Chains A and B, each alone.
Chain A
Protein backbone atom coordinates (compact mmCIF):
# COMPACT_ATOMS: atom_id res chain seq x y z
CA UNK A 1 0.00 0.00 0.00
CA UNK A 2 1.40 3.35 -1.02
CA UNK A 3 1.73 6.23 1.47
CA UNK A 4 -1.00 8.04 -0.48
CA UNK A 5 -3.41 5.17 0.13
CA UNK A 6 -2.47 5.02 3.82
CA UNK A 7 -3.05 8.75 4.15
CA UNK A 8 -6.40 8.45 2.36
CA UNK A 9 -7.55 5.67 4.68
CA UNK A 10 -6.33 7.67 7.68
CA UNK A 11 -8.29 10.75 6.55
CA UNK A 12 -11.46 8.74 6.04
CA UNK A 13 -11.10 7.02 9.43
CA UNK A 14 -10.61 10.39 11.15
CA UNK A 15 -13.71 11.79 9.45
CA UNK A 16 -15.73 8.67 10.23
CA UNK A 17 -14.71 8.75 13.89
CA UNK A 18 -15.44 12.45 14.13
CA UNK A 19 -18.88 11.99 12.55
CA UNK A 20 -19.70 9.23 15.04
CA UNK A 21 -18.56 11.49 17.89
CA UNK A 22 -20.73 14.31 16.55
CA UNK A 23 -23.78 12.08 16.32
CA UNK A 24 -23.14 10.98 19.91
CA UNK A 25 -22.42 14.51 21.13
CA UNK A 26 -25.74 15.99 20.01
CA UNK A 27 -28.02 13.84 22.21
CA UNK A 28 -25.45 13.90 25.02
CA UNK A 29 -25.31 17.72 25.07
CA UNK A 30 -29.08 17.95 24.72
CA UNK A 31 -29.54 15.65 27.69
CA UNK A 32 -26.80 17.31 29.78
CA UNK A 33 -28.01 20.89 29.29
CA UNK A 34 -31.68 20.03 28.88
CA UNK A 35 -31.88 21.74 25.49
CA UNK A 36 -33.55 20.62 22.26
CA UNK A 37 -31.34 18.75 19.79
CA UNK A 38 -31.68 21.55 17.25
CA UNK A 39 -30.15 24.00 19.73
CA UNK A 40 -27.07 21.92 20.52
CA UNK A 41 -26.54 20.67 16.95
CA UNK A 42 -24.47 23.70 15.94
CA UNK A 43 -22.23 23.93 19.05
CA UNK A 44 -21.65 20.17 18.75
CA UNK A 45 -19.94 20.74 15.41
CA UNK A 46 -16.94 21.72 17.54
CA UNK A 47 -16.00 18.03 17.58
CA UNK A 48 -15.11 18.41 13.91
CA UNK A 49 -12.04 20.25 15.18
CA UNK A 50 -10.67 16.71 15.58
CA UNK A 51 -10.35 16.74 11.80
CA UNK A 52 -7.18 18.70 12.51
CA UNK A 53 -5.70 15.21 12.97
CA UNK A 54 -5.61 15.13 9.17
CA UNK A 55 -2.39 17.10 9.49
CA UNK A 56 -0.76 13.94 10.86
CA UNK A 57 -1.06 12.22 7.48
CA UNK A 58 2.33 13.69 6.64
CA UNK A 59 3.77 10.95 8.88
CA UNK A 60 3.05 8.50 6.08
CA UNK A 61 5.47 10.33 3.82
CA UNK A 62 8.64 9.84 5.82
CA UNK A 63 11.73 8.92 3.74
CA UNK A 64 12.38 5.23 3.21
CA UNK A 65 15.55 3.64 4.54
CA UNK A 66 16.18 1.62 1.38
CA UNK A 67 16.54 4.76 -0.70
CA UNK A 68 13.50 4.13 -2.88
CA UNK A 69 11.28 7.15 -3.45
CA UNK A 70 8.20 7.40 -1.25
CA UNK A 71 6.05 8.64 -4.10
CA UNK A 72 6.70 9.14 -7.78
CA UNK A 73 5.10 10.69 -10.85
CA UNK A 74 2.25 8.16 -10.89
CA UNK A 75 1.33 8.96 -7.29
CA UNK A 76 1.48 12.64 -8.10
CA UNK A 77 -0.78 12.11 -11.12
CA UNK A 78 -3.27 10.24 -8.94
CA UNK A 79 -3.11 12.94 -6.29
CA UNK A 80 -3.66 15.64 -8.90
CA UNK A 81 -6.66 13.84 -10.35
CA UNK A 82 -8.12 13.34 -6.87
CA UNK A 83 -7.51 16.97 -5.99
CA UNK A 84 -9.29 18.08 -9.17
CA UNK A 85 -12.27 15.85 -8.41
CA UNK A 86 -12.44 17.09 -4.82
CA UNK A 87 -12.19 20.75 -5.77
CA UNK A 88 -14.75 20.24 -8.53
CA UNK A 89 -17.15 18.60 -6.11
CA UNK A 90 -16.73 21.36 -3.57
CA UNK A 91 -17.19 24.02 -6.23
CA UNK A 92 -20.47 22.50 -7.45
CA UNK A 93 -21.77 22.24 -3.87
CA UNK A 94 -20.57 25.76 -3.09
CA UNK A 95 -22.35 27.24 -6.10
CA UNK A 96 -25.50 25.23 -5.42
CA UNK A 97 -25.51 26.32 -1.78
CA UNK A 98 -24.83 29.96 -2.63
CA UNK A 99 -27.23 30.33 -5.52
CA UNK A 100 -29.76 27.89 -4.08
CA UNK A 101 -30.06 29.64 -0.72
CA UNK A 102 -30.40 32.97 -2.49
CA UNK A 103 -33.10 31.61 -4.82
CA UNK A 104 -35.08 30.08 -1.96
CA UNK A 105 -34.92 33.23 0.14
CA UNK A 106 -35.60 35.56 -2.76
CA UNK A 107 -38.32 33.71 -4.63
CA UNK A 108 -39.81 31.17 -2.21
CA UNK A 109 -39.67 33.11 1.05
CA UNK A 110 -39.81 36.56 -0.64
CA UNK A 111 -37.03 37.92 1.58
CA UNK A 112 -35.38 40.98 0.10
CA UNK A 113 -32.68 41.48 2.71
CA UNK A 114 -31.30 39.02 5.20
CA UNK A 115 -28.27 38.96 7.45
CA UNK A 116 -25.98 36.04 7.97
CA UNK A 117 -23.90 35.36 11.08
CA UNK A 118 -20.20 36.01 10.75
CA UNK A 119 -19.61 32.39 11.80
CA UNK A 120 -20.76 31.48 8.30
CA UNK A 121 -17.32 32.27 6.88
CA UNK A 122 -15.23 29.88 9.00
CA UNK A 123 -18.11 27.47 8.49
CA UNK A 124 -17.47 27.60 4.75
CA UNK A 125 -13.82 26.75 5.36
CA UNK A 126 -14.83 23.83 7.58
CA UNK A 127 -17.35 22.66 4.99
CA UNK A 128 -14.70 22.89 2.29
CA UNK A 129 -12.34 20.71 4.31
CA UNK A 130 -15.08 18.22 5.11
CA UNK A 131 -15.90 17.90 1.41
CA UNK A 132 -12.44 18.13 -0.15
CA UNK A 133 -10.44 15.76 2.06
CA UNK A 134 -12.88 12.81 1.96
CA UNK A 135 -13.64 13.15 -1.75
CA UNK A 136 -9.92 13.33 -2.48
CA UNK A 137 -9.34 10.26 -0.31
CA UNK A 138 -12.14 8.28 -1.95
CA UNK A 139 -10.88 9.11 -5.45
CA UNK A 140 -7.32 8.17 -4.47
CA UNK A 141 -8.47 4.80 -3.14
CA UNK A 142 -10.69 4.24 -6.18
CA UNK A 143 -7.92 4.98 -8.68
CA UNK A 144 -5.43 2.73 -6.87
CA UNK A 145 -8.04 -0.03 -6.71
CA UNK A 146 -8.93 0.11 -10.39
CA UNK A 147 -5.32 0.74 -11.34
CA UNK A 148 -6.22 2.93 -14.30
CA UNK A 149 -3.86 5.87 -14.03
CA UNK A 150 -3.06 6.54 -17.64
Chain B
Protein backbone atom coordinates (compact mmCIF):
# COMPACT_ATOMS: atom_id res chain seq x y z
CA UNK B 1 0.00 0.00 0.00
CA UNK B 2 1.36 3.39 -0.92
CA UNK B 3 1.62 6.15 1.64
CA UNK B 4 -0.88 8.23 -0.38
CA UNK B 5 -3.46 5.50 0.00
CA UNK B 6 -2.77 4.80 3.65
CA UNK B 7 -2.80 8.47 4.63
CA UNK B 8 -6.57 8.38 4.11
CA UNK B 9 -7.08 5.27 6.19
CA UNK B 10 -8.61 5.73 9.61
CA UNK B 11 -9.94 3.19 12.06
CA UNK B 12 -12.20 2.77 15.09
CA UNK B 13 -10.12 0.13 16.84
CA UNK B 14 -9.77 2.06 20.08
CA UNK B 15 -13.51 2.73 20.23
CA UNK B 16 -14.34 -0.87 19.41
CA UNK B 17 -11.97 -2.13 22.10
CA UNK B 18 -13.77 -0.11 24.74
CA UNK B 19 -17.13 -1.17 23.37
CA UNK B 20 -16.04 -4.77 23.81
CA UNK B 21 -15.53 -4.76 27.55
CA UNK B 22 -12.53 -2.44 27.54
CA UNK B 23 -10.44 -4.99 25.77
CA UNK B 24 -6.73 -4.29 26.21
CA UNK B 25 -4.32 -3.81 23.34
CA UNK B 26 -2.53 -6.93 24.55
CA UNK B 27 -5.68 -9.02 24.35
CA UNK B 28 -6.58 -7.72 20.90
CA UNK B 29 -3.02 -8.35 19.74
CA UNK B 30 -3.18 -11.91 20.99
CA UNK B 31 -6.50 -12.58 19.30
CA UNK B 32 -5.43 -10.94 16.03
CA UNK B 33 -2.05 -12.67 16.04
CA UNK B 34 0.16 -9.58 16.11
CA UNK B 35 2.27 -7.72 18.64
CA UNK B 36 0.86 -5.09 20.99
CA UNK B 37 3.10 -2.49 19.33
CA UNK B 38 1.32 -3.08 16.03
CA UNK B 39 -2.09 -2.49 17.63
CA UNK B 40 -0.71 0.71 19.12
CA UNK B 41 0.66 1.77 15.71
CA UNK B 42 -2.71 1.01 14.10
CA UNK B 43 -4.61 3.06 16.67
CA UNK B 44 -2.17 5.93 16.23
CA UNK B 45 -2.72 5.86 12.48
CA UNK B 46 0.93 5.11 11.89
CA UNK B 47 0.43 1.76 10.24
CA UNK B 48 -1.90 0.53 7.51
CA UNK B 49 -2.62 -3.17 8.02
CA UNK B 50 -2.63 -5.87 5.42
CA UNK B 51 -6.01 -7.15 4.28
CA UNK B 52 -5.68 -10.43 6.26
CA UNK B 53 -4.90 -8.49 9.44
CA UNK B 54 -7.79 -6.10 8.83
CA UNK B 55 -10.08 -9.09 8.41
CA UNK B 56 -8.77 -10.74 11.58
CA UNK B 57 -9.31 -7.57 13.60
CA UNK B 58 -12.83 -7.19 12.23
CA UNK B 59 -13.49 -10.83 13.12
CA UNK B 60 -12.33 -10.23 16.70
CA UNK B 61 -14.94 -7.47 17.01
CA UNK B 62 -17.51 -9.58 15.15
CA UNK B 63 -18.08 -6.86 12.59
CA UNK B 64 -17.16 -5.91 9.05
CA UNK B 65 -13.86 -4.47 7.88
CA UNK B 66 -15.67 -1.32 6.76
CA UNK B 67 -16.92 -0.81 10.29
CA UNK B 68 -13.35 -0.91 11.60
CA UNK B 69 -11.44 0.83 8.83
CA UNK B 70 -12.55 3.80 6.77
CA UNK B 71 -10.98 5.29 3.68
CA UNK B 72 -11.48 9.02 4.10
CA UNK B 73 -11.87 11.28 1.10
CA UNK B 74 -13.17 8.54 -1.15
CA UNK B 75 -16.69 7.48 -1.92
CA UNK B 76 -17.26 3.82 -1.16
CA UNK B 77 -17.71 2.99 -4.83
CA UNK B 78 -14.59 4.89 -5.75
CA UNK B 79 -12.32 3.22 -3.22
CA UNK B 80 -10.88 0.84 -5.76
CA UNK B 81 -9.60 3.66 -7.95
CA UNK B 82 -9.38 3.21 -11.68
CA UNK B 83 -8.18 -0.40 -11.49
CA UNK B 84 -11.55 -1.86 -10.72
CA UNK B 85 -11.70 -3.58 -14.07
CA UNK B 86 -14.72 -1.66 -15.23
CA UNK B 87 -14.67 0.17 -18.56
B interface residues, tally (CB under 8 Å):
22
CB atoms of B41 and A73 under 8 A apart: no
CB atoms of A69 and B46 under 8 A apart: no
Interface pick from A23-31, A36-44, A142-150: A142-150
Give every chain A residue within 8 A of B3 (Cβ-Cβ): 150
The dominant DSSP class at the A interface is: loop
A101 within 8 A of B: no
Q: Given the interface contacts A74-B41, A74-B47, A148-B46, does A69 sit within 8 Å of B35 by beta carbon?
A: yes
Give every chain B residue within 8 A of A66 (Cβ-Cβ): 30
Give every chain A residue within 8 A of B44 (Cβ-Cβ): 147
Interface residues on A, range: 10 to 19
A34 within 8 A of B: no
CB atoms of B46 and A73 under 8 A apart: no
Identity of the chain A residue whose Cβ is nearest the Cβ of B1 in the assembled complex: A150
Among candidates B6, B26, B29, B53, residue contacting A73 with C-beta atoms closer than 8 Å: B53
Chain A positions 60-82 with a Cβ under 8 Å from a chain B Cβ: 66-75
Cβ contacts A to B, 12 pairs, < 8 Å: A67-B30, A68-B29, A68-B35, A68-B36, A72-B35, A72-B38, A73-B38, A74-B34, A74-B37, A147-B41, A149-B41, A150-B9
Question: What are the 6 closest A-B residue pairs judged by CB atoms, nearest first?
Answer: A150-B6, A72-B34, A150-B48, A147-B46, A74-B38, A149-B47
